[in-house]
Structure 1
Amino acid sequence: MTATTATTFPTETLPAARVVDAVKVYGSGDTGVRALDGVSVDFPAGRFTAIMGPSGSGKSTLMHCAAGLDTLTEGASYVGDTDLGSLDDRRLTLLRRDRVGFVFQAFNLVPTLTVEENIRLPLDLAGGKGDPEWIDALIDVVGLRDRLRHRPAELSGGQQQRVAVARAFAGRPDVVFADEPTGNLDSRSGGEVLGLLGRTVRRTARTVVMVTHDPVAAAHADEVVFLADGRLVDRMESPTADRVLDRMKAFEVSSGTAATSRTRTEDPA
């Protein structure tokens, strides 16, 4: 389902996040770059969605704008029914703290804190204790029960990313955004983290939106949305690595054909 300006959602089917007619332009005039060009897409609650596309397609820009890390030039971004463009800096900061979780390629753990302290960090910064039963269950989901007193330097890369995943979910956010979360991991550790994200979505009914360039990673999602040249061009339910790879190859062929056509038009010789 693609959101439009006329779309309304019953409360029980409200997407965890969505953008409507999203336009993002970096720079101005002849040097301006249109990173998003009228994208409307929703990210359903309780689902794992991957965003894919060729380099420069706008996938990271889409995630940053949907998460409130960047602002749109035109259009609107929503978390639940909250229009991010209507919030001042303070309220936007509070929304990101309370309703949005983040997992990045660089684990971004605090080296002086233990695993347990890193997991609880968002709650501590917010001045609350959170739900002890939720945190306890989350520790088991990510498999870190025997590492709680360790510090990041004592963990493998895969274990550090599992801490980052647990931290992202600790405050029960409406949606967790993951930007190339396996980019710094080997294939085995990356597979474990991706499986963890999928299990966390299923077991906790949370929502994950992940940017990736890897078809194998995308295959862990419930759905893949594809961008090209700043536009939404396709969606794929129940993806497999082979189907995603075939779709990405089609983009490359299409882009190459378009580039050749432009060259011939501009230079008939």
Structure 2
Amino acid sequence: MTTQPETAPVVASAENLTKVYGEGETRVEALKGVSAAFRKGEFTAIMGPSGSGKSTFMHCLAGLDTPTSGTARIGGIELGTLNDRQLTRVRRERVGFVFQAYNLLSTLTARENITLSSRLAGRTVDPEWLDLLVTAVGLNDRLDHRPDQLSGGQQQRVACARALAPRPAVVFADEPTGNLDSRAGADVLAFLKISAREFGQSIVMVTHDPVAAAYAERALFLADGRIVDEMAGPTADGVLDRLKSLDAREPAGTR
């Protein structure tokens, strides 16, 4: 039984984040004072039209990019106060990442890829936890295979298990099903949903896909660099309708 998100601790947060690219006529405000909080065991989808700032928001929140102003925190750690070495350590120990590209090492087996980040941090993955993850992603019979011996969906499930193996405070997923067919994508999304509900893992997922967003517990909508709406229990049709309305209002020139 996981802690209910409404009462669970905040594992990642942003306060008045802004991000500006360029100067003069090329100046673009990708984020305009974005604030949000993400709790333990919560699966959140970040949605918005192309250029709304959703990927920029996730990158600043995860410490992959530096905001122009405002604060981003992982737990109680303010990322803007850290030097490069400290920031790398926080990302390695407290944050998991799943990207559209699987980013697996071709010379390692699935098992070795899953445990790689933990081994680089000098830690051993608990065998029972590893067995639980591998069973949840359905890879028990593929652990000794290298990436070129796996399908795209299997590779992305390896990437998901790798992100969860160190038991991070939060997993950020950027278009995790973008390279997958609908069936493989559904398998990945189902695992992310299980991770939140059964393992108490916090998931923050950027996606353009209303069907993917429907797996989340809530959806945040960005437009023109701002959070403009929030939807609890999103459905594919509800998200699609909201995105259509945002597309109609989104100005050109944002990221």
Instruction: Give the shorter-chain TM-score range.
Output: over 0.9
CA apart distance, 1:252: 2.1
The answer for the alignment partner of 1:207 in structure 2 is: 202
User: Would you say 1:80 and 2:75 are equivalent positions?
Assistant: yes
Within the candidate set 28, 39, 42, 1:44 is matched to 39
Q: CA deviation at 1:128?
A: 1.5
Partner Cα separation in structure 1 for residue 128 and residue 15 of structure 2: 37
Scaled by the length of structure 1, the TM-score of the pair is 0.89
Query: 1:46-125 to 2 correspondence within 5 Å?
Result: 46-125=41-120
Between 1:60-69 and 1:133-142, the stretch displaced more is 133-142
- 1:241 aligned to 2:236? yes
Alpha-carbon shift at residue 45 of structure 1 (Å): 1.5
CA distance in 1, matches of 2:127, 2:78: 31
Q: Does residue 1:132 correspond to 2:113, yes or no?
A: no
**Counterpart residue number, 1:19:** 14
Partners of 1:200 and 1:17 in 2: CA distance: 17
Deviation string, structure 1 residues 167-215 (Cα, Å, up to 9, x no partner): 0000000000000000000111111111111011111101000000000
Name the aligned partner's letter for residue 227 of structure 1: L
Q: Is the 8 A contact 2:8 2:41 kept in 1?
A: no
Instruction: Please state whether the residue corresponding to 2:141 is helix, strand or coil.
Output: helix
Work out whether residues 14 and 81 of structure 1, in 8 Å CA contact, stay in contact via their aligned partners in 2.
no
Following superposition, the deviation at residue 251 of structure 1 comes to 1.1
Q: For the residues of structure 2 that align with 1:156 and 1:129, how far apart are their CA atoms?
A: 27
Once the 2 structures are TM-superposed, how far is the Cα of residue 13 of structure 1 from its aligned partner?
3.9
| Match of residue 156 from structure 1 | 151
1:142-177: CA deviations, max 9, x gaps? 111111101111111000000000000000000000
After superposition, give the CA deviation of every residue in 1:214-244 in whole Å (9 maximum; x if it has no partner): 0000000000000000001000000000000
Does 1 or 2 have the higher relative contact order (CA < 8 Å, sep 6+)?
Answer: 2
2:25 match = 30
Q: Give TM-score, length-normalised by structure 2.
A: 0.94
Q: Percent identity?
A: 61
Q: 1:17 and 1:52 mapped to 2: Cα distance?
A: 18
Distance (Å, rounded) in 2 between the aligned partners of 1:98 and 1:131: 15
In 2: Cα distance, 1:191 partner to 1:150 partner: 22
User: Partner residue of 1:195?
Assistant: 190
1:116 maps to a residue whose letter is R
Please name the residue that 1:219 is paired with. Answer: 214
Structure 1 unaligned residues grouped into runs of 5+: 1-11, 260-269
- Residue matched to 2:168: 173
Cα root mean square deviation, aligned: 1.2
